[in-house]
Structure 1
Amino acid sequence: MLALTVANFKMMVRNRQTTFWALFFPLILVVAFGLFDFTSPDVSRVAIAGDTQTPFSSQLAEQVQGIEILELEEPPPGVEEGRALIVEGDLDFLVVIPPGYGESLPAVSPGSGLSRQAPVKLISGGESEERVRLVEGIIRPMTDAAVLGETSAEQPETLLGERVETREAPYFDIVLMGLVGMGIMTHSIISIAVRISNYRNLSILKRMLVTPLAIWKFFAAEVTAQLLLAVIQAVVILAVGVAVFGARIDGNVLNLLPVVILGSLVFLNIGFIVSAWANSPAAASGLGNVISFPMMFFAGTFFSTSTLPWLLPYGAEALPLAPMITALREIGLHGATLWDVWPQLAWLAGWVAATAAAAVKVFRFS
């Protein structure tokens, strides 16, 4: 059986179509998402905290509301609440106004025109440096105008920037895990569907029934070779994302292995089902694409399923790719253990059992 597995693996590697769907297609998407910046939103969410009862805070809020790229969050949160919102990724910027900012205070020295004012803080999270500098450039003239009197060679610092660590992973890291699941799905479904359909058309499956080789060994070797290629596929995609584009994997990489194997088994079973319905390799490839491409978009590969309208988010979560991607992201990006993602693993195991039963029922040798 080992020799048969190795032979199947070699045939897959030598097949250009298999290599393309397994490696090059997902890597093209990795490069595309790595080269282009999809993280800068059109509008940044801003909240004002601290002393929000001064004329300056009212004026600042009014001016922020008039800027197209800024969205003022109401009502104003507390400082700690605002920090928590940034950490969770629910807020982009927090402007903290010190007590009495902009009100008349004793001057540093007679005639200097400079007031002893604690600076305003601009707290940000995972925003890009370009976006932070842009927002600073918008807020700073307002803070300067509130406290600076006569022009002086030495002006006080009226705005201080502060960064906090966020739990929200960068968009590229999120998409990278989605591309791992997507690559395994498309390859597993299309590759096995085309191969089995081709074997059936060439009467290879029918001839296998009269050979001394147990038919289960033939399929076990085929599945094992496909699982091995799926693991290699995941390793290559993650390696390119980390080494070339600086993606971070905070969890235990070995914990990703059971997710990859379970997900691959589900899609291999779907591939066997597709091969039973298709009358030719071309039809198997087309039908595999019909199944995999909608799942690619609706299961959250590139965006959260919560953004889908109406009841679609609930339907998307039922797709087999959705729990696979969720488990990959929880383990890889948030350091979750296998126990932490047991609902997703159980859902995948259920899909394995259901699709395996369906594949056995509909499979045909001729």
Structure 2
Amino acid sequence: MRALFGASLKMVVRDRQALFWALIFPIIFLGVFRLFSFDSFGTTDVLVSLDNPSSPSQQALLGALQSAEFLEVTVADQPLDRAGAETEIDDDNINAVLLVSSDGARVDASLIHGISDPIGSSATEAGISSIVDSVNLQLMGGNPPIAFVTERIDSAENTSFFEFLGPGIIGMGLMNFATISLAGSLSRYREEGVLRRIRATPLEPWKFFASVVLAHMTVAAMQVVVISVVAEALGANVFRGGPPFFILAVLGTVVFLNLGVIVAGLVHGRGAVEGAANAITLPMMFLSGTFFPTGSLPDVVRAAVQVLPLTHLLTAMRAFVDGDSVVSQWPHLLVLAAWIAGTFVVARFTFSLEDS
């Protein structure tokens, strides 16, 4: 078995062009996104609390907020204090609360929010700050200025966009390699008659598959380590995830290896196999939260992507980076376990050593 694994690993590593792009493609994404600064994204639900709605300053601010396309503004029936604002956010009623109060000399506008994704957080803070500045220019001369401050509540992590992106690129890289590489390898073995010759030998089929899968998992683990080192060097701070982060990344690869086997079993012809594998991985890459939070998707699409394995893999990986425990991520781990079991069963019945 050890010799068979060694031979399988050599066959995977020998395809140096595929191995090169398995590492370089995600690293290119890391480098490109590191060049950008995303300062606006999505729509935020904001509850505005006014202690003096008849004040010209507060009226002007409310009007400006309501005209902003990136905000969904609701006005509180009664003035709120900080505790009331946190209650509204904790109950998941809204994303943020803007507490507006005046003492005659000036108007204070305090933005309190629990937005965890870095893009939405930056967009809300920067956008409302810009609105306040604009209103202050309009009010110059006869009304007190508006002083704007912002604060995240404890449940909201201060995560940069690149810290959000790092786990996404790692997950994308291992998904693409595991699914496309394994599907392509099995298709090549079938076209070259390797599978037929394996069937004609005393070698048990499960040992052959185990060696091939283990070889791909080994390369995937190396890929995760290399990309993680690059991501950490660029500021993604993925090492904060500790062992659970890397163990989950490697185990999550099993889902995509199973998908690769399924594709190779259902589709014949290496070109068609690679095309089918890309048809599976590309939608997940863009819809499962690799580059942007899934909360920005339309409601129907957002509900649909919650069944995709990459969505739960990335959510749990990011949670580990944020310091969450393994126990707290059990719903996502349970979904991944179901995917592993389900795809294994399907792969078992769709792929055969018989050559077409």
How high is the TM-score relative to the length of structure 1?
Answer: 0.77
> Cα gap change, 1:124/1:24 in structure 2, threshold over 3 Å: closer, same or farther?
farther
Q: Is the 8 A contact 2:66 2:73 kept in 1?
A: no
Q: How many residue pairs end up in the alignment?
A: 339
Unaligned 5+ segments in structure 1 are 102-116, 149-156
Q: Which amino acid aligns with 1:78?
A: L
**Could you say what the CA RMSD is over the residues aligned between the two structures, in angstroms?**
3.5
Provide Cα deviations, 1:31-74, integer angstroms capped at 9, x if missing partner: 23222223324877766546334523443335524765774722
Residues 275-323 of structure 1 deviation map (CA, whole Å, 9 limit, x = unaligned): 1223222221111112221232333333444544464433322222222
Please tell me whether the aligned partners of residues 316 and 332 of structure 2 are also in contact (alpha carbons under 8 angstroms).
yes
CA contact 1:193–1:288 (8 Å) conserved in 2:
yes
- 1-structure distance, mates of 2:106, 2:57: 14
Aligned to 2:134: 138
- CA distance, structure 2, for counterparts of residue 44 and residue 276 of structure 1: 45
In the TM superposition, residue 351 of structure 1 has moved relative to its aligned partner by 1.6
Q: Aligned equivalents of 2:42 and 2:344: distance in 1?
A: 46
Q: Does 1:127 align with 2:122?
A: yes
Give the corresponding residue for 1:340: 328
Provide the identity percentage.
31
Cα gap change, 1:359/1:158 in structure 2, threshold over 3 Å: closer, same or farther? Answer: closer
Please tell me whether the aligned partners of residues 23 and 237 of structure 1 are also in contact (alpha carbons under 8 angstroms).
Answer: yes
1:198 aligns with 2:188: yes
Aligned to 1:180: 170
Give 1 or 2 for the bigger CA radius of gyration: 1
Worse-matched range after superposition: 161-170 or 338-347: 161-170
1:251-294 CA-to-partner distances (Å, cap 9, x unmatched) read: 53211234223321111111112112232222211111122212
- Tell me which residue corresponds to 2:226: 236
Please say if 1:322 is aligned against 2:317.
no
- Measured in 1, the distance between the counterparts of 2:88 and 2:23 equals 38
Query: Quick one: which amino acid aligns to residue 348 of structure 1?
Result: L
Q: Kindly provide the amino acid, as one letter, of the partner of residue 354 in structure 1.
A: G
Structure 2: distance between partners of 1:239 and 1:6:
26
Q: What corresponds to 2:98 in structure 1? A: 94
TM-score, structure 2 as length reference? 0.79
Question: In 2 relative to 1, CA 15–338 (structure 1 residues): closer, same or farther, beyond 3 Å?
Answer: same
Q: Quick check: 1:298–1:316 contact (8 Å CA) kept in 2?
A: yes
Which secondary structure state, in structure 2, belongs to the residue aligned with residue 337 of structure 1?
coil
1:222 aligns with 2:212: yes
Contact 1:184 1:233 survives alignment (8 Å): yes
Q: Is the 8 A contact 1:122 1:136 kept in 2?
A: no
Which secondary structure state, in structure 2, belongs to the residue aligned with residue 127 of structure 1? Answer: helix
CA contact (8 A) 1:43 1:68 kept: no
Report the counterpart of residue 257 of structure 1 in structure 2: 246
CA deviation digits over 1:161-183, x for unaligned, max 9?
A: 45546436333333332222222
Give SS of 1:94's match: strand
Structure 1 residues 1-366: aligned runs within 5 Å: 1-41=1-41, 48-49=48-49, 51-65=51-65, 68=68, 71=71, 73-76=73-76, 78-80=80-82, 81-82=84-85, 90-91=95-96, 94=98, 96-99=100-103, 101=104, 117=105, 120-123=108-111, 126-127=121-122, 134-135=130-131, 137-141=133-137, 145-146=141-142, 159=147, 161-164=149-152, 166-167=156-157, 169-211=159-201, 213-244=203-234, 246-249=235-238, 251-309=240-298, 311-332=300-321, 334-365=322-353, 366=355
CA–CA separation in structure 1 for the residues paired with 2:178 and 2:148: 52
CA distance in 2, matches of 1:242, 1:67: 41
Cα gap change, 1:344 to 1:159, in 2 (>3 Å): closer
Q: Which moved more, 1:186-195 or 1:336-345?
A: 336-345
Structure 1 window deviating more from structure 2 (256-265 vs 35-44): it is 35-44
Deviation of 1:86 (Å)? 8.1
* Secondary structure of the corresponding residue to residue 37 of structure 1: coil
CA distance in 2, matches of 1:42, 1:308: 9
Residues 68-94 of structure 1: per-residue CA shift (max 9 Å, x gap): 577472214624144677899923x83
Q: Which amino acid in the other structure matches residue 221 of structure 2?
A: V
Residues of 2 paired with 1:52 and 1:13: CA distance?
70
